[in-house]
Amino acid sequence: MQLPSLAFLAWTILFAPLVSTLGILLVGLRRPKFSHSIAIASMVTGFLASVYLFIRLLGSPGSVGSQGHGEHPFLEHAISWISLHGLQLEVGVAIDPLSVLMSLVVTGVGSVIFIYSAGYMSEEPSYSRYFAGLSLFAFSMLGIVLANNLVMLFMFWELVGVSSYLLIGFWYQKPSAAEAGRKAFMVNRVADFGFMIGILMLWTVSGATGQERTFNFAELADRIHELAAAQALPYAALSFAGAFLFCGVVGKSAQFPLHVWLPDAMEGPTPVSALIHAATMVAAGVYLIGRCFFLYADLPDLLTLIAYVGGFTAIFTASIAIVQNDIKRILAYSTLSQLGYMVMALGLGGYSAGIFHLATHAFFKALLFLGAGCMIHALHTNDIWEMGGLIKSMKVTSWTFLIGTAALCGIWPLSGFWSKDEILALAFHQDKFLWAIGSLTAMMTAFYMGRLCFAAIFGKPRGHGHSQEAPAVMTGPLVFLAILSVIGGFLGIPRFIHHPRAMHVEFDLGVALISTLCAVIGLGSAWRLYGKPSDLPVRLRASFRWLYSLLANKYYVDEIYAWLIRNVHDRIARLCALFERYVIMRFCVNGIAVTTRAAGSVLRMIQTGKVQTYALALFAGLLLILSWMMVGIHP
Amino acid sequence: MITLNHYLIASGLLFAIGLVGVVSRRNTLMILLSVELMLNAANLSFVAFSRYLGHSTGQIFVFFIMLVAAAEVTVGLAILIVMARAVGKTDADALKSLRW
């Protein structure tokens, strides 16, 4: 096995997008053709390298299938970065099934979306800046995926936040976009603070075996096994560390109660929403749970908490999606709901189920967003009620969108069916309540997607303007993603991704039938309400007015936060300002100045200006020193 | 018989006289002279020790001190003349404009 060359490939995957970013920033800002060429080339290079690594991983004995411990990377290559006494930091890549699958998804979906962007953004004046941002994002995301230690992961985690901020606020002239970027960044900062505490706690715990503390994933896993084997696991400390790490997940993967930033992030360009806020970045949190599964596997109570947070987020956000009218917002709430599904799956111990759903969701949600982008591009509106009849004028977009919808709803035999079903079967065997929530969410998902499709794709053309099919550079990616969405369930992802401590359940026909039934009920009721012109939606809205306004206002979460910030945060801030003004400024800073000045005005009296006084003082001092020296000498 | 102690006592007295002169006199010229007196007190004890120890180092030192003293007096008198021209008197208190 030629390890150096494989390590080189891994580094190539990581650094190709950085080269592209720097290239665009240095020479490409006024050369749009150069910008998109280098950006797409870097992603495709990364994708090819990932495919090669994937094949090597499949072909290597002991890495897939029957190995004793799946927590050791197949390949690890690290460079020492900071080496202090008691603190070793390194920058390194780790190649194992999880990271290879993730880098396949990121570079694969990324390449497709980069190509699509070349069409979607073609009339944009800051075209090159857009590609620089996308490349920076790809670099940061691949850094998270390939990192072999927590500190490196954290740095790239923050870089992802920065690039997300830059791309959400890409149209910074628009105040709402600038605000949305800021909101995303702030909410993530709150979460990442917890994440950092978690990392440091885990680092501290890693010293409990008597060895030097470490951030490295493989070593951390070893230490925790060792401690668990010796019955010396510090449960309280580990639980806190795990809970704080989960804070980071809650922020990045937008789980309740920090889900508020993701719908607003839709202010960015649509391909950005597809890549960052649907397929990859928001999945980073799910990936983190998977990466730290060695830790969570020993903390069943924490896992249950995680599962319930995920389940609650899934149903909570799915219900909001039902009443939204903006196509991108519907998809954003749907993303939130599916992320809740993934987190729930990992919380139930379903390592492979969660990661499987992550991958399939990346395919079909990117497809849906790109399709929505085509519609927005053609009709210049985000409102689904101003669309309609697109199936005649935009055939490719509509059909691929319908495939994506079917995959998201979990219709057999599309990819979403297999991954969602694995999660539901897992829930059925472990926690019937979560299973019920999951099934109900599936029904809601089918309903809001059905509503979206009946309003936008079928029916009569509404609104203004004529719709026409997008150019091939945009429909090509749609077709590619549609194919992936169809066959994604048969690629054997769950067999490829596995963890020795993970839960496994067999395919359950009963559960599958029930979930399919849920999807059909959801789609059917959407058809009943929106499939043909009727006044039923209006009547329903009138009779459940309070429920409608509760949902339309997203359960008033944003308003509650605004109230809390105004009344609690601002008051504390005012108190701190008083402390700053009076204690720090008046007492400490100005106090030192006043004291110094007073001491000076007293002490300067000594300077009489008379030479005789100085001479006398000089000799008196000399005499004093001499007599002090004489004391020690015996005559 | 004049011993080392006699010389040292004479040197000490000379030094004390110079010190009192520096501290008590107001005229800068007199202060300068008193400083010279103190220097010569030191010279005297150097020479006395040199003789007592049979070493020539002390005498060499005295030569240096005399040289330095000559240069110092030159500079000191020059400053004195400038001061007399500028202020009109040679009292040490006359130059206290740097005081608070």
Q: Over 80: is that where the pLDDT of B81 sits? A: yes
What residue type is assigned to position B35 of the chain?
V
B93 touches chain A (CB under 8 A): yes
The span from the CA of A112 to the CA of A126, in Å, is 21
Point out the residue among A604, A610, A616 whose CB comes nearest to the CB of B100.
A604
What pLDDT is recorded for position A64? 43
What is the number of CB-based contacts under 8 A between chain A and chain B? 27
Q: Which residues partner with A149 through β-bridges? A: A216
Place of tokens 């005649």: A392
A632 touches chain B (CB under 8 A): no
CB atoms B93 and A615 under 8 Å? no
Residue of A nearest to B95 (CA): A609
What pLDDT is recorded for position A505? 77
Close Cβ partners of A580 (under 8 Å, ≥ 6 residues apart) = none
For residue A574, the distance in angstroms to the closest alpha carbon of chain B comes to 44
For residue B97, the distance in angstroms to the closest alpha carbon of chain A comes to 8
CB atoms A609 and B96 under 8 Å? yes
What is the DSSP secondary structure assignment for residue A96, as one 8-state letter? S
For residue A623, the distance in angstroms to the closest alpha carbon of chain B comes to 12
Q: What is the DSSP string of A418-458?
A: HHHHHHHHHHHHH-HHHHHHHHHHHHHHHHHHHHHHHHHTS
Close Cβ partners of A298 (under 8 Å, ≥ 6 residues apart) = A224, A228, A233, A238
B23 touches chain A (CB under 8 A): yes
- Chain B residues in contact with A623 (beta carbon < 8 A): none
- Chain B residues in contact with A612 (beta carbon < 8 A): 22-26, 92
Q: Which residues partner with A89 through β-bridges? A: A82
pLDDT digits (tens, 9 = 90+) for A203-213: 988 888 788 88
ipTM of the complex: 0.79
B31 touches chain A (CB under 8 A): yes
Residues B88 and B79 sit within 8 Å (Cβ to Cβ)? no
CB atoms B96 and A610 under 8 Å? yes
| R_g (Cα) of chain B, nearest Å | 17
User: Within its chain, how far is the Cα of A200 from the centroid?
Assistant: 20
What pLDDT is recorded for position A433? 92
For residue B98, the distance in angstroms to the closest alpha carbon of chain A comes to 8
What pLDDT is recorded for position A224? 86
- Chain A residues in contact with B35 (beta carbon < 8 A): none
Binning pLDDT at 50, 70 and 90, where does residue B67 land? very high
pLDDT digits (tens, 9 = 90+) for A504-547: 777 778 888 998 999 999 999 888 888 877 778 888 888 888 88
pLDDT digits (tens, 9 = 90+) for B84-96: 998 888 888 777 7
CB atoms A607 and B100 under 8 Å? yes
For residue A593, the distance in angstroms to the closest alpha carbon of chain B comes to 19
Q: What is the DSSP string of B49-90?
A: HHHHHT-SHHHHHHHHHHHHHHHHHHHHHHHHHHHHHHHSS-
User: Which residue numbers in chain A have pLDDT < 50?
Assistant: 1, 62-69
Residue of A nearest to B28 (CA): A611
CB atoms B23 and A612 under 8 Å? yes
Determine the topology of domain B4-98 in CATH.
Helix Hairpins (1.10.287)
Q: At what angle do helices A283-291 and A97-120 cross, to 10 degrees?
A: 170
